[in-house]
Chains A and B, each alone.
Chain A
Amino acid sequence: MKNLFTASVLALCAATAAKAEGQLNLYVWAESFSPELIEKFSKEHDVKVNVDGYTSNEDLLTKLQAGSSGYDISTPSQHFLRIMIDEGLIQNYEASKLKAYELIDPRWKNQWWDETQSYSIPVAYGTAGFAVNTNEYTGPLDSLSYFFEPEAPLAGKIAMLSYPDEVVGAAQLYLGVPFCSEDSDEMKKVYDLLAAQKPSVAAYSSDNIASRLASGEVAAHFWWDGEELKARVNGAPFAYALPKEGLVGWIDSMVIPNGAPNYENAIKFIEFMSEPENATEQMNYYAHSSPMTLVADKVVYTREKAPELYPEVPVEFSRTCSPAAQDLVNRVWTQLLQ
């Protein structure tokens, strides 16, 4: 029956899915890949590249679970990559046999999200935390308490993401509750914290963050390090908090979904993106850290220029929660926004 479901979805998609040779369909974080690099790849390999973007891991997971997506490359974060491997949604492309594998910084090789490094080659990593508009807030940034238990001028001018994923993680860091806790008393504390914060929250939204923060509509926004950095170097009055309780870490990797129509091109693209020159250019575009070997003197975002990429506070990477732990996260979120 599930096959029938997949088959009917497939049949409906068949008419539109691009199957012609010389194509590559990316479904990656919105605005994450350098358009110049994609153009360069497109020219070098005579491949037409189509790019679709998503703004949450959940969107990607749901799309892949719904059946053949027609995409060749996606970039899930580590905790979702693990689910996709376990649920059989992505292909084993023997990544460890690619040239790209040799270029991965040893720190990021064969981690728990892909122990044998068969399914993925990492492309970017970073953190999630709070960014502020320094025209609106000039106070200290060294603790999460300013955001979770805000006082004027931040009270009423904070925005959180619309998904629980990293927000609950940050609350857990603040409270010292372990990620993926299955203890409902501990998670009740997380709920209490977020519920007490709610009157001070202007919006729960993952869209349009840069302009919401830049306009001063909110003074602090839950965000990602690279996005804040990119806006800051372009002149926005932003700062990224490096709180002593820590930051929520993530690492995105290139995977090939099942049924990818252009497997060969996907492999070519992964190799292409991992060449040191291109990986450097990608990092300079995306403004998130690169887990690959770089051309050191071409890196724009050095430690001096981009302290947000080199946090000295603890970084705790999101984990793949058990269904029981995930249900507690959902209970927190649904009760929060009921």
Chain B
Amino acid sequence: MRRLTHNLPFWGLLPAWLLMGFALILPILIIAAVSLATRGSHGGFSWDFNLSGYSQILFNEGWSGELEFTPQYLLIIGRTYLLAGLTTLICLVFALPVAWYISRQSPGMRALLVYLVTLPFWVSMILRVYAWMIILGKDGPLPRFLENFGLAPGTSFMFNDGATLVAMVYTCMPLMVLPIYASIEKLDLTLIEASHDLHGNRLTTFRRVILPLTAPGIISGAILVFVPSLGAVLEPVLMGGGKQMMMGSLIQLQFGGGRNWPFGAAIAMVLMGLVMLLLIFTALRAARRQAGMEATA
């Protein structure tokens, strides 16, 4: 009996472990293994150990046939991070006031607004991107609207980095609003009053009181937006015109037209490794902050 209760945490968590194991860890292990395999001549791979998947990220044969340093993949990785970072930043700037506004409403209104924020999730993501293609596209509502004011007649806002960013911010916004809202809702308003009583102006109150107390929500929102943005394929291709590759389309190309699965798997591992570093970094910071708070308490 004692033994059983002792083991209860193990057996109780078993379904979760199985799910993690089969749906997450096993596929990652397979990708890791493929990244170390040898490419097949027409795609596919054979299980011969080979590091060329990784070395190709930095070194490739040039047009002259000699192995040379190729910055193009680093460029793609850098561009992907820039796009994800910008998306996160813009989402944050918009989400903070929205979350604040929602949290200041009556409970009924709050529920309605939160529901409205989650509403886009009910529609397939590809449809939402298509909607933006129509809005920004030639003769779409936005160009027409601007034409009324004599601005930019006949232009299309499609197929550039701005269009990509609009769609990315739009699809990711709820993921930022909801966690921030959750942490603002719990914010004790008397603390803000206390700050004002102590002659803290609006900026100081925001910086020294509101920001630290909502930081957990902001951090989880930022992670929820940043990480999927790194793997975005749809928006850069459909909205940006696919003129500059992102990591997502680069990986896709290697498994498709590139017929170089180990290389594709290696890029996927690098993408994942960079994400893991980021998560570990934030987790460590959170732990330090926690420890700091407990020490002062």
Contacts and interface: CB of A to CB of B under 8 A. Distances in A.
A198 B245 CA distance: 13
Interface in B47-92: 47, 60-61, 63-65, 72-73, 75-76
B255 interface: yes
Give the interface SS of chain B, mostly helix, strand, loop or mixed.
loop
B260 interface: yes
B253 A203 contact: no
Contact of A61 (B26, B42, B63, B250): B42
Name which of A61, A216, A337 has the most chain B CB atoms within 10 A of its CB.
A337
B156 A337 contact: no
Contacts of A165: 257
Contact of A333 (B41, B63, B64, B257): B257
A184 B63 contact: yes
Given A62-B43, A184-B64, A334-B253, A202 B241 contact: yes
Contact of A338 (B76, B133, B258): B76
Interface stretch (A29-37, A111-119, A204-212): A204-212
A65 B158 contact: no
B110 interface: no
Given A202-B241, A323-B42, A335-B72, A216 B256 contact: no
Contacts of A323: 41-42, 259
B242 A203 contact: yes
Interface size class of B (residues with CB under 8 A): 35 or more
Given A62-B255, A217-B137, A217-B138, A337 B245 contact: yes
Contacts of B65: 184
Contacts of B257: 56, 58, 163-165, 329-330, 333
Nearest to A84: B42
B63 A188 contact: yes
B72 A2 contact: no
Interface in A156-196: 159, 162-165, 184-185, 187-188, 191
Given A58-B257, A215-B139, A330-B258, A203 B159 contact: yes
B238 interface: yes
Contacts of B260: 330
A87 B243 contact: no
Interface string B122-161: 0000000010010001110000000000000000101100
A273 B258 CA distance: 33
B72 A338 contact: yes
A202 B238 CA distance: 11
Contact of A334 (B72, B159, B241, B242): B72
A159 B243 CA distance: 10
A225 to B, nearest CB: 22
A64 to B, nearest CB: 9
B138 A215 contact: yes
Interface string A136-173: 00000000000000000000000100111100000000
B243 A201 contact: yes
Given A330-B260, A335-B72, A162 B242 contact: yes
Contacts of B73: 338
Interface in B223-250: 237-238, 241-245, 249-250
16 contacts: A56-B257, A61-B259, A162-B237, A165-B257, A187-B63, A203-B158, A203-B243, A204-B237, A204-B242, A204-B243, A217-B158, A330-B253, A334-B253, A337-B243, A337-B249, A338-B245
